[in-house]
């Protein structure tokens, strides 16, 4: 270890440059998100910015499991959905108040914690692969429940509700002398801004919390478990307890992200919270960005979100250009973008298993 570090100084240099690049990239993303309402003023870009904030938290919390501890779970959208549905049901039935968000949100988080602890204690003690299967089964049951218990969840259609007055677009935050909504740099100071910054700062707080967790003694133990479970157990760490703990922590953070998602969208349905498409998105984001690095979550989410919006345009153009060829236009249709992403995903797992951030920072493959 020391030898290689001494002999091969250039790679160390490269790693330092890589770390700098990653840090700068994350810093730029943070800055862009902070100023998003002013930088990108159309509605769709605003949506993308908020989605990126929330998914950074969601993906980073998933990275706690898959990257830092080596646990593969498919139930992350289940916890995300629990937070979102808890909030949505409370807002729908109690009315648009902060109390409803607090009540519904904490109910959602509480259910997530109980479920995570149950699943963890039950199945983390057997093989890791069992765990993947059990969580997949649990998540699919939750999806079915959400679409079938339509009295509470309104089934496939999902719930539409209003949010507290402060956050809704019609509320003026600042008014000018005429009593109209004040514009700062051309941006109306209405409730939409408040909602965005509510989401942004909550996500920032959660993300900061996670960077603290991975650097804490707990984070070190988790990485030890990932590297060598038997040795960690032999040193005296109770592997099952630690795994269950991190599973509960990740579930809690996912549920909190779900609350923010529900508040921002003012709509909660199976497709926006619980579907497997979202679970696949999370997986792709973690792997593309880099497992086992918090910066990877940021990079993965930003790249995937941009690709989701712009790759489709590119593919539409390509499909039109290749129209006379059989089958090829079908493969290039914008709806088939996941096909190419799946291919990219496999190649990444083969050749760059540590993802973009991990490869730049020269972390080990494992």
Partner 1 sequence: MKTGMTLERLGGVNLLPIALMIVALPLIGSFSSWATLTVAGLAMGMMIFLMASGLSLVFGLMDVLNFGHSAFISFGAFIAATVLAALAAWMRADSVTLNFLALFAAIGAAALFGLVAGWFFERVIVRPVYRDHLRQILITIGALIIAEQLLLAIWGGSPLPVARPAILEGSIILGDVAIEVYRIFAFFLGLTVFVALYLTLNRTRIGLLIRAGVENREMVESLGFRIDRLFIAVFMAGSALAAMGGAMWAGYQGLISASLGGELLVLVFIVVIIGGLGSIEGSLLGALMVGLMGNYVAFIFPKLALASNMLLMLAILLWRPWGLRPAITH
- Where along the sequence are the contacts to partner 1 (CB under 8 A)? 66, 70, 72, 122-123, 125-126, 128-130, 132-134, 136-138, 140-141, 144-145, 148-149, 276, 280, 283, 287, 327, 330-331, 333, 335-336, 338-339, 341-343, 345-346, 349-350, 353
Pick the closer one to partner 1 by CB: 312 or 336. Answer: 336
Closest distance of CB 122 from partner 1, Å: 6
Place of tokens 């259609």: 157
DSSP labels, 205-255: HHHHHHHHHHHSHHHHHHHHHHH-HHHHHHHT--HHHHHHHHHHHHHHHHH
Pick the closer one to partner 1 by CB: 51 or 336. Answer: 336
Closest distance of CB 346 from partner 1, Å: 4
Closest distance of CB 359 from partner 1, Å: 15
Pick the closer one to partner 1 by CB: 89 or 134. Answer: 134
Pick the closer one to partner 1 by CB: 35 or 321. Answer: 321
Pick the closer one to partner 1 by CB: 165 or 366. Answer: 366
Closest distance of CB 301 from partner 1, Å: 17
Closest distance of CB 28 from partner 1, Å: 28
Closest distance of CB 363 from partner 1, Å: 15
Closest distance of CB 174 from partner 1, Å: 47
CA distance 82 to 255: 6
DSSP labels, 110-156: HHHHHHHHHHHHHHSSS-HHHHHHHHHHHHHHHHHHHHH-HHHH-GG
Pick the closer one to partner 1 by CB: 91 or 142. Answer: 142
CA distance 302 to 306: 6
Pick the closer one to partner 1 by CB: 24 or 321. Answer: 321
Closest distance of CB 178 from partner 1, Å: 52
Buried b (16+ CB within 10 A) or exposed e, 242-252: bbbbbbbbbbb
Pick the closer one to partner 1 by CB: 317 or 349. Answer: 349
Helix (H, G, I), strand (E, B) or coil at 42: coil
**C-alpha torsion sign, points 266, 289, 59, 156:** positive
Length of the chain: 366
Closest distance of CB 102 from partner 1, Å: 29
> Minimal CA–CA distance to 124: which of 287, 242, 272, 293?
242
> Minimal CA–CA distance to 72: which of 133, 142, 8, 1?
133
CA distance 262 to 100: 12
255 by Cβ neighbours in 10 Å (0-12 / 13-18 / 19+) ranks as buried
**C-alpha torsion sign, points 63, 64, 68, 73:** negative
Pick the closer one to partner 1 by CB: 130 or 309. Answer: 130
Q: Where are the alpha helices (DSSP H) in the chain?
A: 2-7, 9-34, 36-39, 43-63, 76-94, 98-123, 128-148, 150-153, 191-215, 217-227, 229-235, 239-265, 270-273, 276-289, 294-321, 328-332, 337-351, 355-360
Closest distance of CB 126 from partner 1, Å: 5
Pick the closer one to partner 1 by CB: 185 or 350. Answer: 350
């Amino acid at each position: 270890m020391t030898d290689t570090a001494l002999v091969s100084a250039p790679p160390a240099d490269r790693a330092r440059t890589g770390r700098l690049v990653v840090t700068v990239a994350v810093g730029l993303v943070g800055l862009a998100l902070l100023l998003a309402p002013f930088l990108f003023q159309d509605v769709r870009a605003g949506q993308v910015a908020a989605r990126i904030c929330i998914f950074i938290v969601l993906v980073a919390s998933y990275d706690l499991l898959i990257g830092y501890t080596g646990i593969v779970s498919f139930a992350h959208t289940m916890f995300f959905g629990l937070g979102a549905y808890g909030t949505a049901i409370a807002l729908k039935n109690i009315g648009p108040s902060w109390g409803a968000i607090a009540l519904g949100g904490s109910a959602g988080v509480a259910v997530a914690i109980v479920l995570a602890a149950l699943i963890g204690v039950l199945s983390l003690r057997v093989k890791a692969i069992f765990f993947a299967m059990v969580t997949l089964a649990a998540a699919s049951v939750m999806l079915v429940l959400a679409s079938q218990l339509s009295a509470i969840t309104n089934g496939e259609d999902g719930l539409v509700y209003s949010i507290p007055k402060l956050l809704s677009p019609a509320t003026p935050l600042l008014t000018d002398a005429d009593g109209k909504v004040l514009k700062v740099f051309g941006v109306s100071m209405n409730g939409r801004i408040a909602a965005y910054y509510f989401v942004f700062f909550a996500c920032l707080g959660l993300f900061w919390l996670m960077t603290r967790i991975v650097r804490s003694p707990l984070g070190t133990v988790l990485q030890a478990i990932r590297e060598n479970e038997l040795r960690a157990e032999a040193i005296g760490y109770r592997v099952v307890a630690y795994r269950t703990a991190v599973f509960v922590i990740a579930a809690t953070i996912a549920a909190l992200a779900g609350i923010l998602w529900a508040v921002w969208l003012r709509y909660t349905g199976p497709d926006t919270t619980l579907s497997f498409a979202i679970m696949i998105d999370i997986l792709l984001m973690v792997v593309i960005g880099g497992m086992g690095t918090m910066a990877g979550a940021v990079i993965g989410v930003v790249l995937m979100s941009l690709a989701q919006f712009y790759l489709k345009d590119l593919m539409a153009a390509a499909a039109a250009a290749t129209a006379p060829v059989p089958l090829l236009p079908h493969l290039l249709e914008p709806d088939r973008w996941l096909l190419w992403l799946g291919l990219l995903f496999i190649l990444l797992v083969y050749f760059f298993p540590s993802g973009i951030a991990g490869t730049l920072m020269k972390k080990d493959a494992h």
